[in-house]
Every structure is written in C-alpha cells, then in structure tokens.
C-alpha cells in the first residue's frame, strides 16, 4: 500500500456502500466503520443509543449529527482502525463532514479519498426490494443478484438472513428524499477539496472485487 487508506464511501441508500466496503476491506486489510450497522448493533443490545436511533431509522430520517459524530469518534479511536478505514454511511450532511474533519485532525489522521457510488433511483428501489441481511454479521445479499448458497443462511457465518425493517417502499422513498436533500451536497463539498472519485455502481456484484481493485490501483492505494 502506498498511502494510508482512510476512505469514505458516499452514496444513496442501496447504492452498494456496504457491499463495496466489504470488498475494499478484504483487499486492503482495513476496517469498515458503518454507522447504520453501529446503530443496529445498539438497537439489538437495547442500549440508550439504540433506543434513541430506532425512531429516526424507522422513519427513514437521519439520527441527529452530534449523536452520530460522537459514536463515530469513539469507533475511530479504536486500535483496529489505525491501519486505515472505510467510512460507510458517514458523513451524510455537510455539518457531519465538518465534524469529521475535526475528529480526524484530533486523531492526527487525513482522508485519502471519497468514493461516490453513482446509481439511479430506479436501480436502488430494485436493490433494496430484494435485499437480505445477516442477523449476526450484517453481510448484505440480494435474492436475485447475490443470493446466498443456501436459502436464508449467511455464507460467511451461518446466521439467519432477514429483511431490514427500513426496506419497505414508504421508508425507502423517505430515505431517498433525505439523501437528495441532505447528503447530495457532500459531492460538491468533497469535489472542491479534490478528494472525490465517482464510480458508476451499476456493475454486476460478481465483478465487484475486480472493479474495486482497479479503482484502488488508480487511486494509488494498491500496487
């Protein structure tokens, strides 16, 4: 690896952030930091943070910036992220991006790149309608595009595959609206900083690891 891979994956709900993050972490040996997964873990453990996040998540709204940034700061302070990280689902507002700048400067870290996954809303609706997620390890599958080897069972850990509560048509519409209003401005924010890399994310999941290797090589993160 040439430079430290501190990356952000930016994209609409269902654009493939989680799927790509898993591929990047496997290729580069770095850690995935997914705010949605962290909230869902808190929810399953019935913590105060989980109880607070649940209402926002069920409505397809964003959890308040200060709560989310505090959780990210705690996670980024853990030793496993020293080798590099992929932020999946954070930041989602310009305010969160500024908070992230402060967190990284306190930790003495810099961002290498921000990868924007560009996918049409029609494709997103198809992806989320067929998504299944492992109850244990959160690995994403799709009933048609990336089915598990055995129906309803995670290939990686043997956990049960479930549909997410927020993958229903009404909440998907709300999440897309929030993306266009609150998160889309981040594209310009990171373009101005010279950090944005646009990736057309409509490639088949089967070719995804090879595609990701190619992108990381061009970014100077993989030899």
Kindly identify the residues of this chain, within the stretch 164-183, that bind ligand AP5 according to CB under 6 A. 175
Question: 97: which residues sit within 8 A by CB, 6+ positions away?
Answer: 91, 186, 189, 190
Q: What angle do CA 172, 175, 178 make, to 5 degrees?
A: 155
Q: Are strands 113-118 and 196-200 parallel, antiparallel or unpaired?
A: parallel
Is 75 catalytic? The answer is: no
Is 131 catalytic? The answer is: yes
Within 10 Å of residue 139's Cβ, how many Cβ atoms? Answer: 19
Is 164 catalytic? The answer is: yes
| Catalytic hit among 20, 75, 92, 127 | 92
Distance, CA of 64 to CA of 96 (rounded, Å): 10
Binding ligand AP5 (rule: CB under 6 A), the pick from 50, 189, 205, 222 is 205
Which range in 108-116, 139-147, 148-156, 190-198 contacts ligand AP5 by CB under 6 A?
A: 139-147
Q: Could you say whether residue 14 binds ligand AP5 (CB under 6 A)?
A: yes
Q: Could you say whether residue 141 binds ligand AP5 (CB under 6 A)?
A: yes
Distance, CA of 48 to CA of 33 (rounded, Å): 20
Per-residue CA distances from 4 to 8, 82, 199 (Å) = 13, 9, 20
Q: Which residue is nearest to ligand AP5 (CB)?
A: 36
Distance, CA of 24 to CA of 20 (rounded, Å): 6
Within 10 Å of residue 18's Cβ, how many Cβ atoms? Answer: 21
Is 59 catalytic? The answer is: no
- Beta carbon nearer to ligand AP5, 2 or 95: 95
Binding ligand AP5 (rule: CB under 6 A), the pick from 5, 6, 16, 31 is 16
Here's the x/- map for ligand AP5, 42-61, by CB under 6 A: it reads as --------------xx--xx
Task: Tell me the site size for ligand AP5, rule CB under 6 A.
Answer: 37
Is 17 catalytic? The answer is: yes
Q: Could you say whether residue 90 binds ligand AP5 (CB under 6 A)?
A: yes
* Cis bond before residue 112 (omega within 30° of 0): no
Per-residue CA distances from 123 to 15, 94, 131, 147, 161 (Å) = 8, 26, 12, 17, 22
Here's the x/- map for ligand AP5, 98-137, by CB under 6 A: it reads as -----------------------------x--xx------
Catalogue the active-site residues. Answer: 17, 92, 131, 164, 175
Contacts with ligand AP5, residue ranges (CB under 6 A): 11, 13-19, 35-36, 39, 56-57, 60-63, 68, 89-92, 96, 127, 130-131, 140-142, 145-146, 175, 201, 203-205, 208
């Amino acid at each position: 690896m040439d430079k430290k891979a501190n990356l952000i994956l930016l994209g609409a709900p269902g654009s493939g952030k989680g799927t790509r993050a898993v591929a990047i972490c496997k290729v580069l040996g770095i850690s995935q930091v997914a705010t949605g997964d962290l909230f869902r873990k808190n929810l399953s453990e019935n913590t105060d943070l989980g109880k607070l996040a649940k209402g926002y998540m069920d409505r397809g709204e964003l959890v308040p910036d200060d709560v989310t940034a505090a959780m990210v700061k705690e996670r980024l302070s853990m030793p496993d992220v020293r080798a590099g990280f992929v932020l999946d689902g954070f930041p989602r507002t310009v305010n969160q991006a500024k908070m992230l700048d402060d967190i990284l400067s306190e930790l003495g870290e810099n961002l290498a790149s921000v990868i924007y996954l560009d996918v049409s809303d029609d494709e997103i609706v198809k992806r989320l309608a067929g998504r299944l997620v492992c109850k244990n390890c959160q690995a994403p599958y799709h009933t048609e595009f990336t089915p598990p080897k055995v129906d309803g069972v995670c290939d990686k850990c043997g956990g049960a595959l479930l549909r997410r509560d927020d993958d229903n048509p009404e909440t998907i519409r709300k999440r897309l609206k929030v993306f266009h209003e609150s998160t889309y401005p981040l594209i310009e924010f990171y373009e101005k900083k010279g950090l944005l890399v646009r990736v057309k994310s409509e490639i088949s999941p089967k070719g995804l690891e090879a595609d990701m290797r190619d992108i990381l090589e061009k970014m100077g993160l993989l030899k």
